[in-house]
Amino acid sequence: MAEFDVDLFVIGGGSGGVRAARIAAGYGAKVMVAEEYRMGGTCVIRGCVPKKLFVIGSHVHDKIEDAAGFGWSIGQVSFDWATLVANKDKEIARLEGAYTSNVEKSGARIVKTRAVLEDAHTIRLATGEKVTAKYILIATGGAPNHGPIVPGIEHVISSNEAFHLKELPKRIVIQGGGYIALEFAGIFAGFGSDVTVIYRGDNILRGFDEDVRKHVRAEMEKRGITIITGRTVAKVDKHGRDFTTHLSDGSSIASDQVMFAIGRHPNVRGLGLEAAGVAINPANGGIQVDGWSKTSVDNIYAVGDVTHRTNLTPVAIREGHAFADTVFGKRPVEVDHATIPTAVFSQPEVGTVGLTEEEARAQFSHVDIYKTDFRPIKATMSGRDTRVLMKLVVDGVSDRVLGCHIVGDGAAEITQAVAIAVKMKATKADFDATIALHPTSSEELVTMRTPTARHVRQAAE
């Protein structure tokens, strides 16, 4: 008789948990996956995928406007929000089915129920069944965080509800200045909503390069999005179908919808972590793990947003794969969390990899900056008032490219390719030796030859 019912029990059917389950099963492990909502997790069901579909849809209005400069005469057009939502739902259902099928094909078993730890090796399902496992992987992800509770918080939606609104709001107030807030600001503005963004800091996109932050804000404001910084939402009142958002400075804004996108918290509540002895990281509220994704309990691991390390889907997938390779494939793999490329699908789009100028100047004595800001070729004919930003951050001693920051159409696609070079520790000379691909915006990355700034940190006496 086997000592345990399964070799691996995965709590959470999102990207990280699914990858770990499939790889572990491929190594011959007996695997069970518990998912209480829908297979696919945040990214597939209520995150990256539906958001990107909405972003793509919201760009169509600009394309129609730009067409006139290229000789196209397009008649009256209309947009139907309900059709967009229905078609998005069909695609998400298809992807959920694919996730489910791929897990089952690998030989792992899925149970659609909540799972709670009773001890380090025992899981209790909401059905009443108990399962024992040699190893447990927690991959429960994260959830929207509304922050400090304000009067009227019950009237506020998160990104989760934004994907299922019955109608497109004519006016929407969005509190937040990060990925999700700015992406939805662009989405709603693209579909014709009047959008106001409220952020408590001095500028949006905290943690990004300062030039990126300034450029994105200026471009968003050109598009008619109102951005109010240095303030927070103090109260939300509802009057019939309308809302009044009261700000910390005493001003107020009327709208049809109010959305908070001020961060996410790890899904750690009610999992039985205390019973199993799994420690929480006091610094970020996520499950505390080491470089191998192992928790404070030897046989329990955690990957993805529930650890609150780097909350990106590809990171969760890499962590899940590395866990399965290490534990079941006997191929120790430790994930390198340095130099992770990321994108913000705001309008304009942001792609970035490596260090910001501020981070580089804090870590290196000599930092060279190469920066260009230009009108893309499309805008010369469309007449659209928009500019692209490209910036390289270089170690002035070794000539290594430490960071690349792009704002404009295709920024994410370009950054994925550049990230390979940055990860390989390419030098500015390597970039210079690369022949430009003309005419493209990205050719600027290999034609910027003169530093726009050089910074030398004085040694302390």
Beta strand 31-34 pairing with 6-11: parallel
Strand, helix or coil for residue 161: helix
d(CA 251, CA 99): 47
d(CA 132, CA 418): 45
Listed in sequence order, the residues at least 6 apart from 76 whose beta carbon sits closer than 8 Å to its beta carbon are none
DSSP label at residue 436: P
Which residue type does 332 have? Answer: P
Listed in sequence order, the residues at least 6 apart from 460 whose beta carbon sits closer than 8 Å to its beta carbon are none
The angle that helices 48-67 and 81-105 make with each other, rounded to 10 degrees, is: 140
Residue tagged active-site, from 146, 321, 438, 455: 438
CA dihedral 201, 206, 207, 211 (to 10 degrees): -100
The answer to whether 42 touches 305, Cβ cutoff 8 Å, is yes
438 is catalytic: yes
d(CA 288, CA 34): 21
Listed in sequence order, the residues at least 6 apart from 385 whose beta carbon sits closer than 8 Å to its beta carbon are 222, 379
Which positions are annotated as active-site residues?
438
